[in-house]
Chains A and B, each alone.
Chain A
Amino acid sequence: MAQVTRCVVVLLLAGAAFAGPGTAVVRADSIEVELVTEHKSVQPGGEIHAGIRMKMDFGWHVYWRNAGDAGVSPTIKWSLPEGFVAGPIQWPAPHRIPIGGLMNYGYEGEVLLPVTIKVPPELHGSAVNIAAKVDWQVCEEICILGEAELDLFLPLKKAAPKVDERWRELFARTRKELPQAPPAGRVSAAARGGEVALTWEEPLKSGNVELERMVFFPADDGMIENAAAQPVELLLDADALRKSMTLVLTPAATRKQPLARLAGVLVIGSADARAAYAIDVPVGATPVREGSIETVDAPRENVDRPHPFTSFGTRHVLVLLGGVLLGFVLIWAMRKRGRPAG
């Protein structure tokens, strides 16, 4: 009897495993990859805000659509029901990831690659299955190639879909990182000797000349020297008010012709508060600018690599340790004092 029960239990478990609601998440070497949707159901004629969530182990990264000096960007191949159309990956603004003198563009920690899927107005059935085949390269010092087939079921409902609370924050955070069109007339580029100066006009109303960090990510290979520092120059007027900020870029040494256009993503601000702009501007002649220039030699990594300890800094840990040690010494000393001399 026990034998039969055991058999039945095993069969039931196996059945449960196969009849699961789709494999939306996969744990692979150094990375977790998951297919997610912002809402819990699908409305005919609406949109699915889907995305591939990638969570890298500490110290590992995946690549932006332009990986930089080396690396292969992730790709998504969708398998969708008839009439569903998936758009392109909406790449959040990347970070500079230097390795051994080379420079890569990518993401550390966790990243969501959003994709909008258009839903046809005529739908049948009670649920739809959306599937994605994801291909990636995840690197630390060394690299690992990976792929996964993910899918999930979404119930079909006429009512407006409700937000999946698990992913609300992730989608909201990611939207802030998607490059926007810059305000008209704010961005321009000019050739300057062998370099290209990318200027952001933003006059400061107060006399405060605090530097905003700036970094430029080229859309393609062979545009700029990826690993070169991108120093920022502030142009000040007679009252020492900031008129504009200029990022100095080094064109790729292998270029045969000078850069005629600068296309890519310009990020202004630091790790916690970045604004990303999608830019595509012609490289004009050197403009004449009135004012004095302050130069800041930004460090090689120039900006916003998200600090691995976001809330708990290395600094905090060291101070804490110091305090603990001090505590022990105090206790030891007090005990010593308590004992009779000797």
Chain B
Amino acid sequence: MTGFRRWSCALAPLLALLFATNGLAQDPEAKPKAKVKTEAPKKEQEPDKEKKEQEVKNKAPAFSLPDLDGKKHALADYKGKWVVLEWINHGCPFVIRHYKTGNMQDLQKKYAKKGVIWLSVCSSAPGKQGYFKAEQWKKIQDEKGAMPKAVLLDPEGKVGRLYKARTTPQMVIINPKGGIVYDGAIDSKPRARGLEQIKTADTYVAKVLDAVMAGKEAPVTKTKPYGCSVKYASP
């Protein structure tokens, strides 16, 4: 009898495990069940609301993020100045390309001289590519000779999502009144290899800044950004 009891004691949890795993490992191709729901037709949006949303669309969302020294930078702090937001991930081959060739640092230097506030924003979640603690960041920035006004840390990805940042690099240019004048790729050549090829590209950031800072209209306001996806936390 004791033998049988030992038997069943060992067996029972195993059987339970079998059933549990069978139930958990769902068939990925299972067709979703249809729910019955009668739909009322959706109301058209009121025209006034739509117009307001249109104006708000170009307004750069407010943010406040810490830099590598823990000091907070808010967009409001830079009212009256031109601001460039550069989404960054030093592990991404596209970012590597622009830093290795010195292209990004040159742009940072050139426009800092003109009074542009250049902020590198890192929205990589902890544990994802591009995420570093402040001390590590300082070393890397130093090694690469990077010259932004500050590196802003956005590990929760809140500001990235607010600005709909999808790639690194992705560039957003904000005018002194707080409106977004450009949002998109750094230049026109996603496949450029080496500095020579980069130099043949249309550097949108430079073209836009040169135009808008001289009081002219931006030659382009939106382009499809290229790069690696921003490493947000998995939902």
B190 touches A72 (CB 8 A): yes
Instruction: From known contacts A101-B161, A256-B54, infer whether A294 and B14 are also in contact, taking CB-CB under 8 Å.
Output: no
- The smallest C-beta distance from B214 to any residue of chain A, in angstroms, reads 25
B226 touches A72 (CB 8 A): yes
Q: Which residue of B lies closest to A298 (CB)?
A: B32
State which of B39-47, B63-71, B104-112, B201-209 sits at the interface with chain A: B39-47
Is the CB of B22 closer than 8 A to any CB of chain A? yes
Instruction: From known contacts A318-B21, A318-B22, infer whether A102 and B166 are also in contact, taking CB-CB under 8 Å.
Output: yes
Majority DSSP secondary structure for residues of B touching A? loop
- Specify which chain B residues have a CB less than 8 angstroms from the CB of A319 in the assembled complex: 18, 21-22, 25
- The smallest C-beta distance from B31 to any residue of chain A, in angstroms, reads 6
B14 touches A100 (CB 8 A): no
Which residues between 187 and 235 of chain B lie within 8 Å of chain A, taking CB atoms?
Answer: 190-191, 222, 224-235
A193 touches B43 (CB 8 A): yes
State which of B4-12, B113-121, B138-146, B147-155 sits at the interface with chain A: B4-12
Scoring A residues 234 to 246 as 1 if CB is less than 8 Å from chain B, else 0, what string do you get? 1000000000000
Interface range on chain B: under 10, 10 to 19, 20 to 34, or 35 or more?
35 or more
Scoring A residues 180 to 208 as 1 if CB is less than 8 Å from chain B, else 0, what string do you get? 00000000000011110000000000000
- The smallest C-beta distance from B30 to any residue of chain A, in angstroms, reads 10
Is the CB of B175 closer than 8 A to any CB of chain A? no
Q: How many residues of A contact B (CB 8 A)?
A: 62
Is the CB of B61 closer than 8 A to any CB of chain A? no
CA distance A143 to B45 in the complex (A): 41
Is the CB of A286 closer than 8 A to any CB of chain B? yes
A313, A322, A326, A333: the one contacting B6 at CB < 8 Å is A333
Which residues between 270 and 305 of chain A lie within 8 Å of chain B, taking CB atoms?
Answer: 270-272, 286, 292-300
CA distance A71 to B222 in the complex (A): 17
- The smallest C-beta distance from A306 to any residue of chain B, in angstroms, reads 10
A143, A195, A296, A325: the one contacting B228 at CB < 8 Å is A143
Is the CB of A151 closer than 8 A to any CB of chain B? no
Instruction: From known contacts A211-B34, A307-B29, infer whether A102 and B232 are also in contact, taking CB-CB under 8 Å.
Output: yes
Q: Which residue of B lies closest to A302 (CB)?
A: B32
Q: Which residue of A lies closest to B123 (CB)?
A: A100
B93, B125, B129, B229: the one contacting A102 at CB < 8 Å is B229
B22 touches A141 (CB 8 A): no
A193, A271, A323: the one contacting B44 at CB < 8 Å is A193
Q: Which residue of B lies closest to A144 (CB)?
A: B93
- Specify which chain B residues have a CB less than 8 angstroms from the CB of A69 in the assembled complex: 166-167, 229
Which residues between 56 and 113 of chain B lie within 8 Å of chain A, taking CB atoms?
Answer: 57, 91-94
CA distance A234 to B34 in the complex (A): 9
Is the CB of A70 closer than 8 A to any CB of chain B? yes
CA distance A70 to B99 in the complex (A): 20
CA distance A297 to B161 in the complex (A): 24
- Specify which chain B residues have a CB less than 8 angstroms from the CB of A193 in the assembled complex: 41-45
- List the interface of chain A (C-beta within 8 A of B): 69-72, 75, 99-102, 104, 135, 137, 139, 141-145, 192-195, 209-211, 213, 221-222, 233-234, 253-254, 256, 270-272, 286, 292-300, 307, 313-315, 318-319, 322-323, 325-326, 329, 332-333, 336-337, 341
Further contacts, 13 of them, CB under 8 A, given A141-B129, A326-B18: A69-B167, A70-B227, A71-B229, A72-B190, A137-B93, A144-B93, A145-B93, A145-B94, A194-B42, A222-B222, A296-B33, A322-B22, A333-B3
